[in-house]
Amino acid sequence: MNCFICKGNLVKSTTDHVVKLKDCIIIIKNVPCEMCKQCGETYYDDEVARQLEKIIENVKGLAAEITVVNYSDKVA
């Protein structure tokens, strides 16, 4: 698969996913992704996207102004 933005090659990697909500910011670290070697654009597979949605839903009610969670701790 190639990057939709620049057509560069994608490689397996991890990234930090940042979600800005009305009352807080949630940072999810070490999220598995495919990252473009050329422009850095990141892509999540369907399962990772579902897990991110679950993590955000679970954390947003408990979140302080800024909350940092580790992806692998929440998925395991």
Residue 65 lies in a domain: yes
Number of domains in the chain: 1
- Residue range of the domain that includes 69: 10-75
DSSP per residue, 51-67 = HHHHHHHHHHTT--SEE
* pLDDT single digits (tens) 4-16: 999 999 999 999 9
3-state DSSP assignment of residue 45: coil
What is the amino acid identity at position 71? Y
* pLDDT single digits (tens) 32-75: 999 999 999 999 999 999 999 999 998 887 767 888 889 988 77
Using CB atoms within 10 Å of the CB of residue 66, give its burial: 0 to 12 exposed, 13 to 18 middle, 19+ buried.
Answer: exposed
Predicted TM-score (pTM) of this structure: 0.82
Q: Domain with 54 in it: what CATH number?
A: 3.10.20.860
Residue 1 lies in a domain: no
Residue 49 lies in a domain: yes
Residue 4 lies in a domain: no
Q: How many CA atoms lie within 13 A of 50 on its CB side?
A: 3
